Structure 1
Amino acid sequence: MRRDVSQFNITRRQSMLALAATAGVAACGARSGRDLLGADSHPDGYPTVEAVREMGRLLDERSGGRLRIKMYAGGQLGSERDTLEITTFGGLDLNRVNLAPLNSIEPLTTIPALPFLFSSTAHMRMALDGPVGDRILASLEPHDLIGLCFYDSGERSFYNTRKPILTPDDMAGLKIRVPNSDLYVAMIRALGADATPMPLGEVYQALVQGVIDGAENNWPSFESGRHFEAAPFYSLTRHIIAPEVLVMSASRWRKLSDEDKTLVRQAARDSVPYMRGLWDARVAASREKILASGVAVNEVQDLGAFQQQMRPVWDRFVRTDLQKELVAEIEAMRPGT
């Protein structure tokens, strides 16, 4: 794999943490089985963290204790970009990551993040649970990663401090926080707003201080980050319904027997419905809390107007024949087509 080290910023402390954790797991494995070391930037209790723990429970049960997972949640081993690089060279075995840091190394991972590609969560799940999803996961192997499964990351919509967003014209001039992603920046600019990349942890203060006018995210993030306290307008554009990905270090994968590879793949797949159950319950609870708070939540009736603005974005990020083929397959699965 050709690595662009400028994409990652691994501190000495994070590297040492990963190496120490790996050594600890190896020592444990020498005594009582082969533990897999997993990392997640989300905190304990988050659906993706609990899904990987469920995967570990299934592996322990099905392998007779030979295969187990030890999770380091809450970003203990660094940011997603940090842990992804550590995973590629074998310092971590399992890693739950967002699509954004994968976009820079594999073009096919851009596809599920395209704005307005999926019409609903059900459409996203149907598309990525089948051959299209398998092809995207398989594209990671040349980059020293084994794609195991997709987890939900919710339906992202716009919220801001000023007004309801009903048409693209309402976006004009707004400063909107986005993740550090070229795709997200291009999307916001195409809608006539000012894209402001910023870490998620800084959004609440930036809203309060007026550094930004708004942001975009799913119901749980809007609620858990207390953003709804500062941004009283939530407009349901559902512009991105991108998943998150569970990957495994290819170097560790190659050390597994064929039988154990099958166990790992199946346990990962079986953890997906468990994660989705937790996620759906969390979305419902966050939605209820936000509605009770008095936030003005509005549906966007003319999504077609927003979709029309995305054509230049799609043209920029969907370039190869394979990308275009996968996009066409996903669009063909859209209900009503």
Structure 2
Amino acid sequence: MQIFRNLTFLFIVLLIQGCGSENATKTLRLGHGLDVSHSVHKAMVKMGEDLAQRSGGKLKLEIYPSQQLGTERECLELLQIGSLDMTKVSVGVLENFAPKMKVLGLPFLFRDRKHSFDVLDGPIGQSLLNEGEKYWLKGLGYYDAGSRSFYTMNKPIETPDDLKGQKIRVMESVTAVRMVQELGGSPTPISWGELYTSLQQGVVDGAENNPPSFYLSRHYEVCKYYSLDEHTVLPDVLLMGTYRWNKLSKQEQQWLTESVQESVKYQRKLWAEAEAEALREVEKAGVTITHPDKTLFAEKVSSIYEDYKDDKDIYPLIQQIKETN
């Protein structure tokens, strides 16, 4: 079955590679893992419309949502070899390809949402986007992905002690794994597309994510406790393979950059609305939402910061982020 899936996946990639080769319009192919109702997908649709308008139809965006072209990691690998043009991944996954990005995954790094935007939209965030270029990944912008919190099936997470013995799904992120370990849980990396079934079958006891993802994935049908400790603020990153970026003219790069910037602004507005709606809807569906004392969790993971004191790449970034007003 897995062999068949891989062959099907390869066939799709080869098929879309050949599309539009004889057309004067340049088509950029964007693959991602989110549902079409997600604010990020809607922002991508707007980006495609803006791009077509700005370029007078010379640039076109084709979007393949819902992991049609693979997981986040697979899409990143396709970007690196030039078989896919663009993708969106969580910064937690990107840290495996651009190590400095791991700083954004540190728990309780940002004071609030405004602080995170100031960092991401400023010199620090832009330098981190450029960090991926040495790995053939061109960072284009940050979409808002809110704050991540724990949701579980059997009991709420009110203190770190409640995580003891709990298998918690995390992304393929060293930082996320370490965080859950420090809090006393058992981190279990599982792809997003397999998580619903894993929860149903008891492979894991819970997971951690933002409200819209919790809601749109329908994980609330299985997990009836959502504890808003807001341990990390992990943005989504829009990327393009440098192979494809370098084939665009300066004018085309400008059209794309401007369209991305408008897309980011639009998505952040949608996100704020989606977050409020998600919390309302999951509560209506019987989910118990709690607000644990964040300081208990922050104290428990403080040792993670100590580990970076001798890291000449990450520790200065931590200090710069904390000093950003």
Judge same fold: TM > 0.5, yes or no. yes
Deviations 1:178-216 (A, max 9, x none): 223222111111011122222334434444444433221
Is the Cα contact below 8 Å between 2:130 and 2:138 reproduced in 1?
A: yes
1:294 is the counterpart of 2:286: yes
Matched with 2:11 is 16
Matched with 1:250 is 242
Cα 1:27–1:314, aligned 2, differ >3 Å: closer, same or farther?
A: farther
Measure, in 2, the Cα distance between the counterparts of 1:250 and 1:318: 32
Deviation of the 1:236 alpha carbon: 0.9
Is the Cα contact below 8 Å between 1:99 and 1:243 reproduced in 2?
A: yes
1:324 is the counterpart of 2:319: no
1:112 is the counterpart of 2:107: no
Cα 1:12–1:229, aligned 2, differ >3 Å: closer, same or farther?
A: closer
1:147 is the counterpart of 2:139: yes
1:192 is the counterpart of 2:184: yes
The secondary structure found in structure 2 opposite 1:139 is helix
1:88 is the counterpart of 2:80: yes
Matched with 1:4 is none
Is the Cα contact below 8 Å between 2:308 and 2:315 reproduced in 1?
A: no
Aligned-residue identity in percent: 35
Deviation of the 1:254 alpha carbon: 1.2
Gaps of 5+ in 2: none
The secondary structure found in structure 2 opposite 1:15 is helix
Cα 1:189–1:255, aligned 2, differ >3 Å: closer, same or farther?
A: same
Is the Cα contact below 8 Å between 1:25 and 1:36 reproduced in 2?
A: no
Is the Cα contact below 8 Å between 1:47 and 1:279 reproduced in 2?
A: yes
The secondary structure found in structure 2 opposite 1:26 is coil
Is the Cα contact below 8 Å between 2:96 and 2:173 reproduced in 1?
A: no
Is the Cα contact below 8 Å between 1:154 and 1:218 reproduced in 2?
A: yes
The secondary structure found in structure 2 opposite 1:157 is strand
Measure, in 1, the Cα distance between the counterparts of 2:55 and 2:197: 47
Match of 1:27 among 17, 22, 29: 22
Measure, in 1, the Cα distance between the counterparts of 2:248 and 2:193: 38
How many matched pairs? 321
1:64-103 counterparts in 2 under 5 A? 64-103=56-95
Measure, in 2, the Cα distance between the counterparts of 1:135 and 1:318: 21
Deviations 1:45-79 (A, max 9, x none): 32222222212222211121112211112211111
Q: What TM-score does the superposition give when structure 2 sets the normalisation length? A: 0.91
- Which range is displaced more, 186-195 or 216-225? 216-225
1:162-181 counterparts in 2 under 5 A? 162-181=154-173
